Amino acid sequence: MSSIVLDQKSGLYVDQKSGRKFFLDEPDDLKVGEKVTFLLNLHGGGSHGIWQRLYFPAHDYKNKYRLVVATPTAKTKEPLRHWVAEADDQWLRDIVNFVCDKYGKDNIRAFWLVGHSQGGMTANRLLMSEFFANRVDGWLSLSGGRFGPVEIPASFFAGSEHRLPAFDPNGPAPGRAVMVDCDISFIFSTGELEIVKLPETSPWAERYHAGPRVRLPDIVDTEKGQVTGAMPGRGPSWGREARPGTAQVYVFPSARGGRVIADVVRLDKGHTEGYEPKVTEELIKMIVAAPGGKMMALGRTG
């Protein structure tokens, strides 16, 4: 029996053994046995679940697209808060198992990892484990690494007083994701100012024999995101105040198995400006249009 319960006062779910908490958003009118899409939404280094929930506000679309969104917080705080395998991986597995028990594996039509920055790199690492590889249907990387190298400009690091522990040279690193041995859809979203140039090809698209990339109509947001990325001493590559904007959308069509493979570039944005309503919804639409079924298959096989 799970030790995770709802704290009626805060509205958060809490593990009675460890005291760790997380947000869990579900449709207001969810029916018993209804199929949902489950997102595990991971914040970046130096951030927190509260900020991530506003940075990528998937929960704003929970009713329209029948989403269940879990947004936890990393345990390790030094040199700044970030995800660590020894401290967090079991906790993340516990959250996934709790969600499966709460809604039923047969009712989770798709499960996606969503991660910003170091949270995206953590998603990449999690996909190398059997537990997540067997359950995850897709990964949305929010400036958290792309399959195939993406160059990060030197200006991105200007003014930074903090650094995460050194990355494994063979593991995830800023701008680069490690190819994983599992079947998933993959969406990479980034600010124009935090990369030198978006590659026109994708090794993940090549793996699924997708066609050459196609540019879709731009997404134009007249409303700003809910959090700002501005920090004293950090330049536009890091991020500025939240504001409206335009995003370019590229897809690699006809991927094997109907997998969704796409790149989204938010023009004149850096690493941390909160996602605007329309680009958030477009990413959610891509997620729910992608194939799923891994969790449901586990439910049938036990």
Backbone φ and ψ for 295, nearest 5 degrees, come out as -65, -40
d(CA 83, CA 89): 8
Q: What is the pLDDT of residue 211?
A: 98
Instruction: Read off the tokens for 150.
Output: 């993406």
Instruction: Compute the average pLDDT of residues 226-244.
Output: 91
pLDDT for 160 equals 64
Query: Span 230-245, mean pLDDT?
Result: 91
* Predicted confidence (pLDDT) per residue in 119-161, tens digit: 999 999 999 999 999 999 999 999 999 998 788 887 777 766 5
> What letter does residue 169 receive in the DSSP assignment?
T
Q: How would residue 165 be classed by pLDDT, with cut points 50, 70 and 90? A: very low
Q: How far is CA 160 from CA 71, 75, 155, 231, 235, in A?
A: 26, 22, 10, 10, 10
Average pLDDT, the chain: 92
191: number of CA atoms within 13 Å, CB side? Answer: 25
Structure tokens at 32: 């018993």
Residue that wins the pLDDT comparison between 19 and 229 = 19
pLDDT above 90 coverage of the chain, percent: 84
3-class SS of residue 59: helix
What are the sequence ranges of the domains in the chain? 4-153+169-301
Residue 77: helix, strand or coil by DSSP? Answer: coil
| 277 C-beta neighbours (distance < 10 Å), count | 18
Name which of 148, 144, 145 is nearest 200 in CA terms: 148
- Nearest to residue 116, comparing CAs of 144, 156, 146? 144
- 274: pLDDT strictly greater than 60: yes
What is the Cα–Cα distance from 172 to 85, expressed in whole angstroms? 13
The reported pLDDT for the residue numbered 79 is 87
Q: What is the DSSP string of 212-251?
A: SPEEEEEEEESS--SS----TT--TTT--S---EEEEEEE
Residue 256 has a pLDDT of: 98
252-271 per-position pLDDT tens digit: 999 999 999 999 999 999 99
Q: Among candidates 78, 28, 29, 24, which has minimal Cα distance to 49?
A: 24
Encoding tokens for residue 16?
Answer: 């009675």
Tens of pLDDT, residues 188-211: 999 999 999 999 999 999 999 999
Alpha carbons 223 and 239: distance in angstroms, whole number: 17
- Cα 243 to Cα 240: distance, rounded to the nearest angstrom: 9
- Whether 155 and 195 have beta carbons less than 8 Å apart is answered as no
**Residues in a beta bridge with 13:** 6, 22
- Looking at this protein, which amino acid is placed at residue 37? T
In degrees and rounded to multiples of 5, residue 171 shows phi and psi of -110, -170
Closest CA to 123 of 110, 112, 134: 112
Q: Exposed, middle or buried by CB within 10 Å (0-12, 13-18, 19+), for 299?
A: middle
Just give the CATH number of 4-153+169-301. 3.40.50
Q: What is the pTM of this model?
A: 0.94
Res 167 pLDDT > 80:
no
* Token duo for residue 208: 């699924």
